[in-house]
Chains A and B, each alone.
Chain A
Amino acid sequence: EAGVVQSPRYKIIEKKQPVAFWCNPISGHNTLYWYLQNLGQGPELLIRYENEEAVDDSQLPKDRFSAERLKGVDSTLKIQPAELGDSAVYLCATSSDGRNEQFFGPGTRLTVL
């Protein structure tokens, strides 16, 4: 079974530029999470999808962050415009009905200069 795929793995951009991250979940996993992980910290939830519906986006900074999960499969997280403080690792995780485990992708490491 293939794991959660994220791309790109690394991204370096100038501040005020837009950036997008992509996540492909494990086949059949209907719940998808985007987390932000700062250095030396644990993951913090940005948004959770159940199929194509965003059921928890209370921690997503909606002035600059947006996300979508078309057809309830792949998901994209976008930042526009990026700020210096957005430098972090962005993790995607997925889980299936009836299972407690969240499976994480390797993350995208964003550096904003």
Chain B
Amino acid sequence: QKEVEQDPGPLSVPEGAIVSLNCTYSNSAFQYFMWYRQYSRKGPELLMYTYSSGNKEDGRFTAQVDKSSKYISLFIRDSQPSDSATYLCAIGGSARQLTFGSGTQLTVLP
């Protein structure tokens, strides 16, 4: 079993839809939870991070962490074609020791 599991998709949604992306992890000691976005042929860029259970909101993006279930989610409201990318969760015991999920490829259709 991998330490971090992520549904690879691909996921295709119409513009304006709410998108839900998820990861599960196995190590209960993990306390850093991050979401990166990666456009084709680019390096990943950080979208959001948190180190506690609960929700964190930033514009159209909401990150949710449930430590009891070892489950994290990223929600995208009012999705736009520019949101089309691969979304990677990254989880670890510190911000410098992260394990990345395999990524979910998202396409938002205009």
- List residues of chain A with CB under 8 Å of any chain B CB: 4, 31, 40-45, 48, 56, 91, 93, 95, 99-107, 109
The DSSP consensus for interface residues of chain B is strand
B49, A101: Cβ atoms closer than 8 Å:
yes
Q: Pick from A91, A100, A109 the residue with the most CB of B within 10 Å.
A: A100
Q: A42-B88, A100-B32 are in contact. Are A31 and B96 (CB under 8 A)?
A: yes
**Do B44 and A100 touch (CB < 8 A)?**
no
Cα distance, A95 to B90, chains bound together (Å):
15
The residues in B between 67 and 102 inclusive whose CB is less than 8 angstroms from any CB of A are: 88, 90, 95-98, 100-102
Assess the B95–A95 pair: CB atoms within 8 A. yes
Contacts of B100 in A (CB 8 A): 42-44
B102 and A101 within 8 A (CB): no
> Which B residues lie at the A interface, using CB under 8 A?
4, 6, 8, 32, 34, 41-46, 49, 88, 90, 95-98, 100-103
Complex-state Cα separation, A45 to B100, whole angstroms: 9
The minimal Cβ–Cβ distance linking B33 to chain A, given in whole angstroms, is 11
Contact residues in A for B96 (Cβ distance below 8 Å): 31, 48, 95
Which chain B residues border A100 with CB–CB below 8 Å? 32, 34, 49, 95
CA gap between A91 and B101 in the complex, in Å: 16
Q: How far is the CB of A76 from chain B (nearest CB, A)?
A: 18
What is the chain A residue whose CB lies nearest that of B34?
A100
